[in-house]
Chains A and B, each alone.
Chain A
Amino acid sequence: MGHYNYWIVIVLMMIGFYIVIAHGNLIKKIIGLGIFQTSVFILYISMANVDGGTAPIFAEGICQYSNPLPHVLILTAIVVGIATTALGLALTLRIKEAYGTIEEEEIQEKDNLDC
């Protein structure tokens, strides 16, 4: 059972991936990407964990800390993630204005009609 954390990560990743490829709604796709993203965060944080370790802040009488490097990477990744999500939403809004819909198939139909 030593790997169950990683399995949960993979299940979450599968859910996110499924939303991204199987659903047509662009907002829902963005939420799916968010789940996918979080699963990667959880993977990194799980790897950083050490048995009996504590949060990586120096304190008296503690010698086992969890690995700070993945924490740093994920910390910045979260904030970058929200910035890119916002960019994605902005694009979605412009698509809505241009096509009147955010469903992938309807957008394709309109594109085909134009050709």
Chain B
Amino acid sequence: MTAIAIVRLKDLFPLIMLSGIYSLLSSGFFVTMDAVDVAFTEAAVGAGISTLLLLVAITMTGRTEHPVRHKPILALVVVTITGGLLIYGTLDMPIFGSAQAPVHLHVAPRYINDSMQEVGVPNIVTSVLASYRGFDTFGEVVVIFTAGIGVLALLSVVPRPVTVAKINSLNHLLHEQHLILRIVSKTLLPFIMLFALYVQFHGDYGPGGGFQAGVIFAAAIILYTMLFGMITARRVINQSLIQVLAAIGVLLYGSIGVVSLLNGKNFLDYSILAGDPVAGQHLGILLIELGVGITVTSVMIIIFFNFAGRREYLQHLKKNNEGNNDTSC
């Protein structure tokens, strides 16, 4: 399997490619296990965004791994013992695929049997995600938002002001290279974005939802940034606007909860939002999925922009240092 190759490789570049393939394979596995929503997310996140982020990171850290000096035998022993104990533990687990396993007997029957009457959304995963366990999902969104803030705090640099003339000359220069790539991806971009919106608003009926849509939308913008350069992308996408949007997504989610609270129901109980409870649930799910989508998109864009911006900044520093050395000699 791919994972074993990952252990052996010293060069980080093929390593990252392999980890992308590994993600794609595992998303294929999720499809065979009937978890279409999960497969969708894994394919977009694991094979797309995380591979990209790792690649940007190694451009700054160097791509070879130094050979380990200490003996890995101790680690191997620890790992084998842990694995052995866990395999011993699996012997008590119910047989794979058994419908009588305890997992399927607790809350799942309620979700499967009643969610059509209570929530009225065909995709059970969406109704559990957004309605039954809406509070959990709110927590997850806050975690993503916090990670975005963390990256911002660790890596943010103030972009240097760039003159219009410089941008034009840069654009001219870039037009010469990667012409085919640029034209093809320029044609693809609107479709990627349209697909993201479809995934966003069709999450009630098919696989999809705010998390996947957010990642796909962010991927479209990252593709644009990679092909047209940071400077152009910064002019198209306002950094501070994106930061405000990330917060607005979380606030939208939270405020839906507060609205239902003020109307005398529980936090995030949407049945009050419209006259008919099922319609209220629909509206609530749509709105919070929108909140999730906005936050995920903005956080992914923030993360990528800060990684790429840092890289630019470091190159700038290096160039300045070299310039200083030249004058001193």
Contacts and interface: CB of A to CB of B under 8 A. Distances in A.
A51 to B, nearest CB: 4
Contacts of A49: 33-34, 96-97
A31 B19 contact: yes
B175 interface: no
A2 B172 CA distance: 62
Interface in A54-105: 54-59, 64-72, 74-87, 89-94, 96-97, 102-103, 105
A26 B300 CA distance: 22
B83 A55 contact: no
Contacts of A19: 6-7
Interface size bucket, B side? 35 or more
A85 B53 contact: yes
Contacts of B37: 71, 75
B144 to A, nearest CB: 5
B61 A5 contact: no
B68 A23 contact: yes
Contacts of A74: 35, 38
Nearest to B87: A10
Interface stretch (B123-131, B162-170, B283-291): B123-131
Contact of B82 (A17, A75, A97): A17
B96 A71 contact: no
Contacts of B151: 86-87, 90
B16 to A, nearest CB: 7
Interface in B23-47: 23, 26, 29-30, 33-38, 41-42, 45-46
Given A10-B83, A87-B147, A90-B155, A22 B72 contact: yes
Contacts of B1: 12
A79 B144 contact: yes
A70 B35 CA distance: 9
B316 to A, nearest CB: 14
B211 A76 contact: yes
B257 interface: no
A14 B16 CA distance: 19
A49 B35 CA distance: 8
A47 B103 contact: yes
Closest 5 CB pairs of A and B: A83-B147, A2-B95, A22-B75, A51-B97, A56-B124
Given A31-B16, A57-B122, A86-B53, 16 more contacts: A5-B96, A10-B90, A31-B54, A53-B34, A55-B35, A57-B123, A67-B103, A72-B128, A78-B45, A79-B215, A80-B143, A82-B50, A82-B215, A87-B150, A90-B151, A90-B307
16 contacts: A6-B90, A28-B65, A45-B29, A46-B33, A48-B34, A50-B104, A54-B34, A57-B36, A68-B124, A72-B137, A75-B125, A76-B140, A78-B38, A82-B49, A85-B53, A87-B147
Interface of B: 1, 3-4, 6-7, 12, 15-16, 19, 22-23, 26, 29-30, 33-38, 41-42, 45-46, 49-50, 53-54, 57-58, 60-62, 65-66, 68-70, 72, 75-76, 78-80, 82-83, 86-87, 90-91, 93, 95-99, 101, 103-104, 107-108, 111-112, 116, 122-125, 128-129, 133, 136-137, 140, 143-144, 147-148, 150-151, 154-155, 205-207, 209, 211, 214-215, 296, 299-300, 303, 306-307, 310, 314
